[in-house]
Structure formats: structure tokens, C-alpha cells
């Protein structure tokens, strides 16, 4: 039997649950939802009964196998590459930890944590392509940490034509986790 390699997939943690709570407040029954970087699929599973459609993506094939086992519709994708559709709600708990060469983990799990030296190396390209994947009236919830530089993220969102609003936050010993609600600045013209 092929191994599921569960140790290569992110274990739901405080960030997962903070994003999940924000998503449950945000989602509407008519929404088509994309959860990017779904990991084990916990967030997508909770949303399937609350939205019209939920699609979960990840770059890690082991994560997708686990999510599919829970009955979630999955697509393997590197950020928005190959994704043509637009969504009403996009969710992402990205790798956001500043990570130098010496901090890298072995194998697929590295992709769950490694935000590059700035912590924003996955967050930045996500925001650059976000507008093109939101349906009219669409919005995104992005989980970030103060460790990855909130001011820089908000500045980048503005430069990418997005309005960012903090909708949830939780303090920990060494960081604060924040959920940003992103939508196109000036609406859909
Ligand atoms: C912090 S984990 C979050 C997992 C899950 N959503 C949760 O909240 O428990 C980040 C996830 O993003 C995925 N990921 C990292 N880089 C990605 C990329 N370029 N495209 C798609 N998924 C990516 C990782 O494989 C990992 O499953």
C-alpha cells in the first residue's frame, strides 16, 4: 500500500484555527471558495457544507491525497499557476516564517513553513495574482504573522491594488497571528 506520508503534511495548528474561525464568519452559501495550500484539508472540510462549492489546492501531493480522503475536491497547483477560474472567496494560510538556508526542513514539510528570508516569498506572488482570480464582489482571507512584516505586507497589498483590513488577530509569546481580508481597491470597475 502506498504510504500517505502524514509526517510530510502540516498538522493543523493555531494559525489553521484562527483562519477557520474567520472563514466561517466570512463565507456565504452562494460562494465558490478556493482554499490554497489546504494541507490536510481541515478548513475546506468545515466549509463544504457552508458554501456552494469548495476547491482545495496544494503544491504537496501528500497533502492532496489526505484532503481527497476527506471527500474534498482537490487540484495540485503552485499558487495560481494553471488556475483559470475566479472565486468569491479565496483562503490561504501560507508558509510565512522567515527562513534562512540553515532553517530549512527536510522534504515536503519545508514548503509548509518556509516563507523565504523575508517570510513573504509566497505571500507576495499570491497577492500579485489575487485580483485576477476574484469574481465580482470577491474577497480573500490571508493568514500572516508579525514575524513576516505586517507593514510590508500591507504596503505590498496596496501596490497590488488591494484593500487590506485586519479581521482577526491572536497574540502569542513570540508573534501575533493576523487574518487580513483582501479585496480589490476601488471595487470591480
Ligand atoms: C502553513 S501550511 C497550512 C496548511 C493548512 N491550510 C492549514 O491551515 O492547516 C501551508 C500550506 O501551503 C502549501 N504551499 C506552500 N507553498 C505553496 C504553493 N506555492 N502553492 C500551493 N500551496 C503551497 C504547503 O504545502 C502547506 O500545505
Structure confidence by residue, pLDDT tens digits, 140-189: 999 999 999 999 999 999 999 999 999 999 999 899 999 999 999 987 55
Cα distance from N-terminal residue to C-terminal residue, the chain: 52
What is the distance of C-alpha 70 from the center of its chain? 19
Q: Whose CA is nearest to atom 4 of ligand 1?
A: 39
Strands (E), the chain: 32-36, 53-58, 73-76, 87-92, 134-145, 162-171, 176-184
Q: Which residue has the higher pLDDT, 6 or 80?
A: 80
Whose C-alpha lies nearest to ligand 1, atom 6? 38
Count Cα atoms within 13 angstroms, Cβ side, for 36. Answer: 28
pTM exceeds 0.75 for this model: yes
Query: Per the CATH hierarchy, to which homologous superfamily does domain 6-184 belong?
Result: Vaccinia Virus protein VP39 (3.40.50.150)
- Most ligand 1 atoms within 8 A of CB, residue of 39, 78, 98, 116 to mutate: 39
The atom number, within ligand 1, closest to the CA of 79 reads 20
Amino acid at each position: 500500500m502506498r504510504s500517505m506520508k502524514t509526517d510530510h503534511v502540516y498538522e493543523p495548528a493555531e494559525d489553521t484555527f484562527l483562519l477557520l474561525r474567520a472563514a466561517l464568519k466570512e463565507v456565504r452559501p452562494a460562494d465558490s471558495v478556493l482554499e490554497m495550500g489546504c494541507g490536510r484539508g481541515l478548513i475546506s472540510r468545515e466549509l463544504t457544507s457552508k458554501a456552494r462549492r469548495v476547491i482545495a489546492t496544494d503544491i504537496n501531493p501528500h497533502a492532496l491525497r489526505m484532503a481527497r480522503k476527506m471527500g474534498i475536491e482537490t487540484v495540485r497547483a503552485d499558487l495560481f499557476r494553471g488556475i483559470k477560474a475566479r472565486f468569491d472567496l479565496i483562503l490561504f494560510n501560507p508558509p510565512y516564517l522567515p527562513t534562512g538556508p540553515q532553517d530549512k526542513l527536510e522534504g515536503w514539510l519545508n514548503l509548509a513553513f518556509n516563507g523565504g528570508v523575508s517570510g513573504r516569498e509566497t505571500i507576495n506572488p499570491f497577492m500579485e495574482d489575487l485580483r485576477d482570480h476574484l469574481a465580482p464582489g470577491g474577497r480573500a482571507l490571508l493568514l500572516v504573522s508579525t514575524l513576516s512584516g505586517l507593514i510590508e505586507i500591507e504596503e505590498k497589498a496596496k501596490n497590488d491594488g488591494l484593500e487590506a483590513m485586519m479581521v482577526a488577530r491572536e497574540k502569542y509569546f513570540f508573534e501575533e497571528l493576523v487574518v487580513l481580508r483582501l479585496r480589490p481597491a476601488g471595487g470591480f470597475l
